A and B are shown apart, each in its own frame.
Chain A
């Protein structure tokens, strides 16, 4: 300790003479112990806190959730005796019509957001890749929505969808003649699922665009030059060079957006709160209700395990696709 104090008092941190002085003043028993540690042991000492945190924050809660999923535990009734119910929670969830409907709402959201984001994102990337004057500025403008917070996006789109003062309704009236106050995007059973698709598409298309742009820029020019020499038309070049070479990147974008939208919560809660009725109640919103409004902790743990296994499976495919892209 004295040595350390001297080091800092002198202000010459870690000069050779100081290191030598420190080494000389280290008791022989301590020095022997430090010298005796292998590189592997030192590496473990450095990594151990992270592994401990990972186990405490990720692995333990996961194992605990799996354990709770076989019980009828309720987190708001701590003194109640917990009963082991076996697979009953899973059986109830997987035969429940209501949860099946939530899964279908999730599927509607997932499929349409991915379709729109891939089509628009690829088209934008294709245009930006043409390198026209000001393309860098346009790229910056296009990627702005994905830098915003989902809570902020949810709030201002709620205003845009407002039937009396909302810009969207007035635009619809301007183009179609349908009176602005005659429909509510977020209040209608038919329109609300599409309203959340539009907002997510607006927010996350730039992300897909960036991935597609990376794919397009990875195609070497000489391939197109060779195709030109062979007199391949632009259309043929697009289908036989561009699409096959961008496909792994597109797949990556689809998987990434699929996983993200499967667990979508914040944006939809801000926009519709799951309504009207439960038409936009996605699986994650329903899970939150079961866990923290109805306090069916055991049941919602089983629900969480089902969603986790699905996301984990999709993530495994995602990692495989990522490795494929890396190998290129």
Chain B
């Protein structure tokens, strides 16, 4: 857990990529779930944030 936090603070690729991946996955689930319309409405923003974050953080050092 401490490694994960320090990875975030030192802008290391691993933890940030993981966060971006979680955001993309969450966005896709929100887009396709049948329960809440609000989740569908906000899904695009979440996916977009995750995708842009993934593009940026993939240039961070390992």
Contacts and interface: CB of A to CB of B under 8 A. Distances in A.
Contacts of A316: 20-21, 24, 51, 54-55, 58
B34 A310 contact: no
A312 B31 CA distance: 14
Contact of B44 (A97, A107, A306): A306
A314 interface: yes
Contact of B32 (A90, A107, A317): A107
21 contacts: A94-B40, A95-B37, A97-B37, A100-B37, A104-B32, A107-B33, A306-B44, A310-B27, A310-B31, A310-B47, A313-B24, A313-B51, A314-B24, A316-B21, A316-B24, A316-B55, A316-B58, A317-B21, A317-B25, A317-B54, A320-B17
Interface string A259-271: 0000000000000
B24 A94 contact: no
Nearest to B39: A100
B32 A313 contact: no
Which one of B17, B32, B40, B47 has the highest number of Cβ atoms from chain A below 10 Å of its Cβ? Answer: B32
B34 A90 contact: no
B4 interface: no
Contacts of B19: none
A106 interface: yes
Interface in B16-62: 17, 20-21, 24-25, 27-28, 31-34, 37, 40-44, 47-48, 50-51, 54-55, 58
A259 to B, nearest CB: 11
B40 A100 contact: yes
Interface of B: 17, 20-21, 24-25, 27-28, 31-34, 37, 40-44, 47-48, 50-51, 54-55, 58
A63 interface: no
Nearest to B41: A94
A309 B28 CA distance: 10
Contacts of A94: 40-44
B17 A313 contact: no
B44 A90 contact: yes
Contacts of A128: none
Contacts of A110: 32
Contact of B40 (A103, A312, A314): A103
Contacts of B43: 94
Given A103-B31, A310-B28, A313-B50, 13 more contacts: A95-B37, A95-B41, A103-B40, A104-B33, A309-B44, A309-B48, A313-B24, A313-B27, A313-B51, A313-B54, A314-B28, A316-B54, A316-B55
